[in-house]
Structure 1
Amino acid sequence: MIRFVIAFTALIAALPARAEVEIQELTTPGGINAWLVEEHSIPFVALELRFRGGAALDLPGKRGATNLMMALLEEGSGDLDSQGFARAVEGLAASFSYNTGDDGVSVSAKMLTENRAEAAALLRTSLVEPRFEQTDIDRVRAQVISIIQSDEKDPRDISARAFDALVFGDHPYGSSRTGTVESVTALTREDLLTAHGNALARDRLYVSAVGDITAEELTALLDDLLGDLPATGAPLPKDATPNLPGGIKVVDFDTPQSVVTFAQPGIDRDDEDFFAAYILNHILGGGGFESRLMTEVREKRGLTYGVYSYLLDMDNAQLWVGSVASANDRVAEAIEVIRAEWTRIREEGVTAAELSDAKTYLTGAYPLRFDGNGPIANIAVGMQLDGLPTDYIANRNDMVNAVTLEDVNRVAKKLMAPENLTFVVTGKPEGLATTIN
């Protein structure tokens, strides 16, 4: 493992922050598409696998199955039990991680060139031949249930769950991907095998690799690694119809500080006005201490330690989301200030100085994301999921700089919808009552 740490540290030093990334588009003999960035200065490669669908593929009554299944992939495979698998990964100085999101599951791997074949073979067994031993299922299930029970006492998680249920209803987005205590307790080994076949299939696979590997080596590795996965998985979920009527829903919870989640309709990543909206959000609530919401809610009035907003582009819904926490006796004022700023930016727009500052920050920060093989692989696979071209990295800052003041202010009038701004407040807020059924 020491060799891996040294190699990874050296890699970061060898790859200065940059946005000059040459991507090769490949197709393996077995028909797997992949993006490759070759970087041979350090004998190390990062591999990122993403399968579209994720926890949204959970079958009715089986909420949490995909999440539990992914958590079990590192708990033994092939001839190795959970401890044997962990020792094998460590012995190869490799690193594997398996994660579940609402719209996809991801597998991230890092391996040294000298051990690449063995590491890839081990990774393959975890994807294709997971053991799902009952003792491991019970142990990991208990861990998941413990997390669920902890979340049920956390006002931020309570607020997020109540918000999702209100906005998305019966759509999979409307409930937590970890499931409930009841749904996770009832999951069987057969449910996990079904979730595995539904989620890990080649028809929803996206791949990127960055590091010390050639195109020929990568295509051979991918066919060996992924060729035995099912060709097709479960049908992908349909689009959601977000319920954002405007108003307030209060979730009673005994805490001295209310937690607020709020949103209005968002914008698709493919929309021609996306970059104008992205800059607008940075000015409104995405720019940290320089944003309008932080200035008005925190700096001028001291109503919170932090408030922020962001554009959420999910596979089946788009929202403009924000969050704030404030004392119970001041949260009503915080909400009114947020509403006022939402309206003011729609009616008055932004200034030339705000636009210039936002562009300077966004274009200057962008190259800093490319600080190693792993981050680059993650960005590249995300680009594929978003349908972006391989030259997006080189052109992205030009697209930001091309946005004019007229563009931003036109989009502010078009998109900002304070009448649809919907708040879910968890706590004991004073002066607030539920206005949404």
Structure 2
Amino acid sequence: MTERTRLGYGLIGLILLLLLGLMVWLANLPPRPTAPAGEAPTAPARLESLAGLNGEPPVHRALNIQDWRTAEGARVLFVEARQLPMFDLRLTFAAGSSQDGDTPGLALLTNAMLNEGVPGKDATAIAEGFESLGAQFGNGSYRDMAIASLRSLSDPAKREPALALFGEVLGRPDFPADALARIKNQLQAGFEMRKQSPGKLASLELNRQLFGVHPYAHPSDGDTESIAPISRERLQAFHASAYTAANAVIALVGDLSRSEAEAMAASISAALPKGPALARPADPMPPRPGLQHIEYPSQQTHLMLAQLGIARDDPDYAALYLGNQILGGGGFGARLMEEVREKRGLTYGIYSGFTPMQVRGPFMINLQTRADYSQGTLELVQKLVREFIAEGPTEKELKDAKRELIGSFPLSTASNADIVGQLGAIGFYNLPLNHLELFLQQVQALSVGQVKAAMARHIDPNGFVVVSAGPTVEQKPLPPPTTPAERPAAMPEH
């Protein structure tokens, strides 16, 4: 008998022993419990189809939002969530770039410097302090708002020191000179890089054309001329006026009681500067429609179309959200994607969307296409918008958009981090506490006529500001549309 044969027999014997052991183990398992007499046995869990919901929304986390104000004037929104031994805290300040005044980039630079140093601690000590407690600090600055966030364990032994350090960072940043110089250099490097991006250049020009002299017109991160002269004293002054408790919304979600949440909110509120809330920006003036071209050596042309849209608290928000999903916000199922990419192959992607803000933000359509097709593509997009405004969505488009939105809606409150973001928006834009439920109810009740009317009220097909960035080349006629090939229903036979 060869060595290979002996190994083969040995392997077969080992497999037989394993099978015998498995049979003995199964024979000795306790019997499965049976249903008591008169009761039906429990059916195994199975996946459910969205079709079985009959238009009703899937179950999502019901939010019991508690709302109060601190002694210093900060609004607090709190949701108790005991599933995990942690909490998420987010402060939203009306301290975005719309408050920059004559110094674009001031708000962003102030926010970026918050965790660079406090009395007795540099940036490294702050980072190590949060890390040693298993806590995470976050911050960011946008057009309307600036945020600062903390995620930590709810155990008081971890929670209290993390909260104390968070209060120092928000209430007593000292804006050290070396960190200020470093971050300015990083911003200046970014300004040089964006000169090489036709899409970024088009976006900056679009905001200038759309908003004119309004604070939304300038870039949130400023520019070379505005950032360079910003001093430590200027940052301190902006922090003292914009990071006050009265200018803040405190959102809190996690493993906390109401009394613990009140104590935490009071502690953070007291650590902030004292002062009034800042005034919201004025409404922007409607722009003059027209086309601006940026000459840029490339194979592709960036096309951006925009006009003023809505503020976040506009009563047509739900109808416009759903209408835009059908027009261009819903990915491959949207009309613009179907007509411009799928049928004609003119772009890899085209997207439209409203950006509601404190006051009227933009409604925008953007895409890239071949430079020699840019004029025809622009005309096609404008034609598709005119048709959608004139005719509205079809019943099928509306039904499909509702089903997709309803199916994805539970994701908006799937985690504590999702919920704290929703609370911040509800408080900042002064929306009703049951905003999420109202939004879903409004979407379900919308008819084709209501969506069509809302889109017609807020979108003028002839009112677009258009910016293109690319080379000036001879234009070609667009290829004719084709019907996209249907995918096979099953694997082909060979």
Q: Same fold (TM over 0.5)?
A: yes
Counterpart of 1:59 in structure 2 is 101
Counterpart of 1:111 in structure 2 is 152
The separation in 2 between residues aligned to 1:322 and 1:368, in whole angstroms, is 26
After TM superposition, the runs of 4+ consecutive aligned structure 1 residues lying more than 6 A away are none
1:193 to 236, 243, 257: 236
* Residue 179 (structure 2) pairs with residue 136 (structure 1): yes
Tell me how far 1:53 sits from its aligned partner.
3.6
SS, match of residue 97 in structure 1: strand
- Cα deviation, 1:75-94, whole Å, max 9, x if unaligned, reads 12131111111111111111
Tell me how far 1:398 sits from its aligned partner.
1.4
Counterpart of 1:71 in structure 2 is 112
Contact kept? 1:332, 1:430, Cα under 8 Å:
no
Contact kept? 2:171, 2:273, Cα under 8 Å:
no
* Residue 116 (structure 2) pairs with residue 84 (structure 1): no
Look up the equivalent residue of 2:110 and give its one-letter code: M
Tell me how far 1:237 sits from its aligned partner.
4.9
The separation in 2 between residues aligned to 1:95 and 1:51, in whole angstroms, is 19
* Residue 208 (structure 2) pairs with residue 165 (structure 1): yes
Look up the equivalent residue of 2:271 and give its one-letter code: D
Look up the equivalent residue of 2:453 and give its one-letter code: R
The separation in 1 between residues aligned to 2:232 and 2:59, in whole angstroms, is 45
Contact kept? 2:104, 2:226, Cα under 8 Å:
yes
The separation in 2 between residues aligned to 1:82 and 1:181, in whole angstroms, is 25
Look up the equivalent residue of 2:231 and give its one-letter code: T
Look up the equivalent residue of 1:28 and give its one-letter code: T
Contact kept? 1:65, 1:184, Cα under 8 Å:
yes
1:326 to 357, 369, 372: 369
SS, match of residue 453 in structure 2: helix
Tell me how far 1:243 sits from its aligned partner.
4.3
2:247 to 194, 201, 204: 204
The separation in 2 between residues aligned to 1:66 and 1:30, in whole angstroms, is 22
Q: 1:318 to 1:63 in 2, by over 3 A?
A: closer
The separation in 2 between residues aligned to 1:381 and 1:105, in whole angstroms, is 11
The separation in 2 between residues aligned to 1:272 and 1:358, in whole angstroms, is 20
The separation in 1 between residues aligned to 2:72 and 2:226, in whole angstroms, is 38
Tell me how far 1:152 sits from its aligned partner.
2.3
Tell me how far 1:377 sits from its aligned partner.
0.2
Counterpart of 1:338 in structure 2 is 381
Counterpart of 1:33 in structure 2 is 75
Counterpart of 1:299 in structure 2 is 342
Look up the equivalent residue of 2:132 and give its one-letter code: G
Contact kept? 2:119, 2:174, Cα under 8 Å:
yes
SS, match of residue 89 in structure 2: strand
Q: 1:404 to 1:40 in 2, by over 3 A?
A: same
Counterpart of 2:53 in structure 1 is none
Q: Percent identity?
A: 29
1:421 to 464, 474, 483: 464
SS, match of residue 372 in structure 2: coil
Counterpart of 2:195 in structure 1 is 152
The separation in 1 between residues aligned to 2:187 and 2:442, in whole angstroms, is 42
The separation in 2 between residues aligned to 1:401 and 1:77, in whole angstroms, is 50
TM (normalized to structure 2)? 0.80
Tell me how far 1:180 sits from its aligned partner.
0.8
Q: 1:17 to 1:197 in 2, by over 3 A?
A: farther
State the number of aligned residues. Answer: 416
- Cα deviation, 1:362-399, whole Å, max 9, x if unaligned, reads 11111112221111101111012222222222332111
- Cα deviation, 1:285-312, whole Å, max 9, x if unaligned, reads 1110000000111111111001011112
* Residue 315 (structure 2) pairs with residue 315 (structure 1): no
- Cα deviation, 1:195-232, whole Å, max 9, x if unaligned, reads 21232112221111111111111111122222132332
Counterpart of 1:371 in structure 2 is 414
SS, match of residue 157 in structure 1: helix
The separation in 1 between residues aligned to 2:277 and 2:399, in whole angstroms, is 46
Q: Could you tell which deviates more after superposition, 16-25 or 62-71? A: 16-25
Look up the equivalent residue of 1:81 and give its one-letter code: D
CA RMSD for the aligned pairs?
1.9
Counterpart of 2:140 in structure 1 is 99
Q: Could you tell which deviates more after superposition, 125-134 or 50-59? A: 50-59
Look up the equivalent residue of 1:94 and give its one-letter code: A
- Cα deviation, 1:71-126, whole Å, max 9, x if unaligned, reads 11111213111111111111111111111011110111101112111001001111
Q: 1:244 to 1:138 in 2, by over 3 A?
A: same
The separation in 2 between residues aligned to 1:297 and 1:99, in whole angstroms, is 35
Larger radius of gyration: 2
The separation in 2 between residues aligned to 1:100 and 1:398, in whole angstroms, is 32
Q: 1:387 to 1:31 in 2, by over 3 A?
A: closer
Query: Higher RCO, 1 or 2 (CA under 8 Å, sep at least 6)?
Result: 1
Counterpart of 1:247 in structure 2 is 290
SS, match of residue 176 in structure 1: coil
Contact kept? 1:105, 1:199, Cα under 8 Å:
no
* Residue 111 (structure 2) pairs with residue 48 (structure 1): no
Look up the equivalent residue of 2:309 and give its one-letter code: G
Q: 1:387 to 1:261 in 2, by over 3 A?
A: same
The separation in 2 between residues aligned to 1:179 and 1:267, in whole angstroms, is 25
Tell me how far 1:46 sits from its aligned partner.
0.2
Look up the equivalent residue of 2:219 and give its one-letter code: S
TM (normalized to structure 1)? 0.91
